[in-house]
Structure 1
Amino acid sequence: MTDKLATILTAAQDHAEQVILPSVDKWNAGKTWPRDASDKAGAVGLTGLYAPEEHGGQGLPLSEGIQVYEQLGVGDGAYAFALSMHNICTFAGCSFGTEAFKQRWARDLTSGRKLANFALTEPQSGSDPMQMYTRAMINDDGTWTINGSKAWVSLATEADVYFTVVKTSDVPGHKDMAMIAIPADAPGISFGPLYDTPSYNFLPMSEMYLDNVVVSEDNIILPVGQGLQGSLMAIDIARVSIASGCCGLMQSALDTALSYSKNRKMFGGKNLDLDGIQWMLGEVATDLEASRLLYRKAAEALGSEDGPLMAAHAKRFVPDAAVKAANTCTQVLGGMGLLQPYGLDRLSRLAQMLRIVDGTTEISRVVIGRALQKRAATMPDLPVPKGFGEAAGNADEIAAE
């Protein structure tokens, strides 16, 4: 581990313990994004993880920076998710944006003074980005006029700029897709009612509406033809980031169950002395270790040919393990696990949310299944045992008759 990574991980751990955990219930009750908390995250380097140092970022490789969300996930998975999306957008803007965009936005984003988020999903398309209706018309002066809507936009009304994927024609397919940064104060941008999300009400989510929004060509992040490819890479990074945050969630649930069961007296001893309790929590501990290894391996593969598949493996396995861990740890506490002060109900709901965002676990299974189909196509056929083919052939003839 490099000294820089160690410093950043320590900062993330301190942020979770000192800023997130003492306040997350109050944030949810207030239903307001804790801007003072994200400002503090920016002050210690957590909002420009992958951005180049020349723009005020930490310059960490994805394989290292993604580990930050495990630490933040101990505090809250939704908070970790929001910062992960900001970091992805900041990385994209600082790496692929125009020089004018970098001059205007880079240091504000890496410092956390301004927040960014990603807008791809649409109300009618869900996990199918090919069914996109948001259109950008390129004007004679180089500006873009954008019309359409996006759904499940995180930091809705709170972010300062939205990295939005658009189509530039009505031709089916993805070759006309682009990504453009739309400032929150652009005329014509508006938001629908905030979604009611009981366990992460502090994270504003809603639909975003674009009505003849005009944006400068300086705000083009990915030009026409590169929008979908860049979006898929962003989603892969997000999926591994979510897996990282889920590990923090699992650690928090396990620690709560251990702290409770080591002192809870039952049947002449402590709960943690019971084989059944040890087995339940031992399984959570094994799943946590396996999840850490998997998301870190996936993070190392990002940007390579194996990146999308490894991201799918991480997104398929780790959030499922987090749901199981939260439920198991709740069971260990019995009735006490249902009480708000222990936080396990919040963790259970968060784990379920993380199974869904940025591609459901079912979508990950589709990605994995298609990879298996491609692998199977390259493998030799197994020889048919002598006599088996003849019997099968006779059966087919009888069925035909």
Structure 2
Amino acid sequence: MASTLDTILAAAKDHADSVIKPNVETWNAAKAWPRDASDKAGEAGLTGLYAPVELGGQGLPLSEGIQVYEQLGMGDGAYAFALSMHNICTFAGCGYGTEAFKKKWGRELTSGRKLANFALTEPQSGSDPMKMYSRATINGDGTWTISGSKAWVSLATEADLYFTVVKTSDEPGHHDMAMIAIPADAEGLSFGPLYETPSYSFLPMSEMYMDRVQVSEDNIILPIGQGFQGSLMAIDIARVSIASGCCGLMQAALDTALSYAKNRKMFGGKNLDLDGIQWMLGEVATDLEASRLLYRKAAEALGTPEGPLMAAHAKRFVPDAALKAANTCTQVLGGMGLLQPYGLDRLSRLAQMLKIVDGTTEISRKVIGRALQKRAAQLPDLPVPKGFGEIDSAPAAQQVA
């Protein structure tokens, strides 16, 4: 008897094969989010992965649900990314939202009839969420009035709900941050021009502006004091989800190269018979297996003290490996790899995008570096061999002499 995870993974694979792959180039040409596709994802159970069953979700733990994006990533990494962010918001709303919010929005989100996205980054602060200028004023009737702006908001103009992190005072730090869900039809909410994103132009991204937007207290997802930590947890989930999607991208690139090389005639044989080609693709295959092990281990660690570091390892390693894989597979095809029908140029651009969103690989290196500093502080000092360091410890006058 198939488990819920097996059923969902099979549904995700079918969605990638039957909905994403045949249509992604058309979506990009149209420069519009394929709402009919995300509706089908909802019908397949892919839009409420971590939400409780009683609200229409699949009730999967993070460690299992995150594997869905590997399947979707074989179709398109940007599409997988968008659905991963929707699922994170649905997880937050159905798990931590008010009862009134769950009653109004829960099944709408888990079914995919309504889409959600996350708004944290601001135009002037980039990877530094501590520099936040969006402000919420709490009114006498409990409503919140919000003003400010966010950047790199995906599903901009398309989502029905934006899970937005704001500060509630001018005090420095993060202890006054909260998360509130802003409906797309809220008065005062608007969006800037869509960013130009050539390889994933179907995914709308832009800045979001809030001009005295008034929101009901029913829409508070994380109260004052919990917004920052909740955002970090959301980002950790997103980073591991991206790593999962990158594995799908790597598999798609590898399969394209294999399909080409097994029939390409060269030097009296087939490309895939050449040691050089085998070695190139063998390295991609090893990186893919290592990436799968890493993101799945990171997914198991989410919610534990090791979670942020493991998410950083996954986000640092896997997108880099995906970009390398896409470029290597392009090289295997030679000039043919540059042609649009093979899709490898699109995969390279997507891998580059996935290196950047939800924390660049450099930010992940910083997280890893801090962990190494903490570990170093707990280790004993190494003994200094006799004769070393004597000049440094000698009086200054002796050193000059």
- 1:167 corresponds to which letter in structure 2? K
Secondary structure in 2 aligned to 1:199? helix
1:306-332: CA deviations, max 9, x gaps? Answer: 000000000000000000000000000
Distance across 1 between alignment mates of 2:263 and 2:149: 53
1:127 aligns with: 127
1:221 aligns with: 221
Distance across 2 between alignment mates of 1:371 and 1:247: 25
1:388 aligns with: 388
Shift of 1:141: 0.5
Q: Say if 2:236 is the partner of 1:263.
A: no
1:207 aligns with: 207
2:296 aligns with: 296
Secondary structure in 2 aligned to 1:190? strand
1:309 aligns with: 309
Distance across 1 between alignment mates of 2:130 and 2:205: 22
* Paired residues for 1:189-200 under 5 Å: 189-200=189-200
Q: Say if 2:376 is the partner of 1:376.
A: yes
**Residue ranges of structure 1 left out of the alignment (5+ in a row):** none
Identity over aligned residues, as a percent?
Answer: 84
Distance across 2 between alignment mates of 1:200 and 1:396: 62
Contact 2:246 2:319 in 1 (8 A): yes
Secondary structure in 2 aligned to 1:388? coil
Distance across 2 between alignment mates of 1:18 and 1:129: 39
- 1:209 corresponds to which letter in structure 2? Y
- 1:239 corresponds to which letter in structure 2? R
Contact 2:391 2:399 in 1 (8 A): no
Q: Relative to structure 1, is the Cα distance of residues 145 and 23 closer, same or farther in structure 2, using a 3 angstrom cutoff? A: same
* Paired residues for 1:125-164 under 5 Å: 125-164=125-164
1:183-227: CA deviations, max 9, x gaps? Answer: 000000000000000000000000000001000000000000000
- 1:126 corresponds to which letter in structure 2? G
Shift of 1:387: 1.9
2:178 aligns with: 178
Secondary structure in 1 aligned to 2:376? helix
Distance across 1 between alignment mates of 2:252 and 2:91: 29
Contact 2:319 2:355 in 1 (8 A): yes
Secondary structure in 2 aligned to 1:179? strand
Distance across 1 between alignment mates of 2:390 and 2:127: 45
1:70-116: CA deviations, max 9, x gaps? Answer: 00000000000000000000000000000000000000000000000
Distance across 2 between alignment mates of 1:399 and 1:93: 66
Distance across 1 between alignment mates of 2:166 and 2:216: 15
* Paired residues for 1:337-376 under 5 Å: 337-376=337-376
- TM-score scaled by length of structure 1: 0.99
Q: Relative to structure 1, is the Cα distance of residues 191 and 390 closer, same or farther in structure 2, using a 3 angstrom cutoff? A: same
Secondary structure in 2 aligned to 1:221? strand
- 1:286 corresponds to which letter in structure 2? T
- The Cα RMSD (Å) is 1.2
1:59 aligns with: 59
Secondary structure in 1 aligned to 2:108? helix
Q: Relative to structure 1, is the Cα distance of residues 236 and 266 closer, same or farther in structure 2, using a 3 angstrom cutoff? A: same
Contact 2:5 2:64 in 1 (8 A): yes
Distance across 1 between alignment mates of 2:163 and 2:347: 29
Shift of 1:388: 1.5
Q: Say if 2:229 is the partner of 1:233.
A: no
2:279 aligns with: 279
Shift of 1:393: 3.4
Shift of 1:389: 2.9
1:326-358: CA deviations, max 9, x gaps? Answer: 000000000000000000000000000000000
2:243 aligns with: 243
Q: Say if 2:101 is the partner of 1:88.
A: no
Q: Say if 2:22 is the partner of 1:22.
A: yes
Q: Say if 2:96 is the partner of 1:103.
A: no
1:330 aligns with: 330
- 2:258 corresponds to which letter in structure 1? L
Secondary structure in 2 aligned to 1:75? coil
- 1:381 corresponds to which letter in structure 2? D
2:33 aligns with: 33
- 1:195 corresponds to which letter in structure 2? Y
1:47 aligns with: 47
Shift of 1:181: 0.2
Distance across 1 between alignment mates of 2:63 and 2:351: 23
Distance across 2 between alignment mates of 1:18 and 1:104: 32
Secondary structure in 2 aligned to 1:212? strand
Distance across 2 between alignment mates of 1:160 and 1:325: 36
Shift of 1:232: 0.1
- 1:103 corresponds to which letter in structure 2? K
Secondary structure in 2 aligned to 1:170? coil
Distance across 2 between alignment mates of 1:132 and 1:290: 37
Secondary structure in 1 aligned to 2:200? coil
1:246-276: CA deviations, max 9, x gaps? Answer: 0000000000000000000011110000000
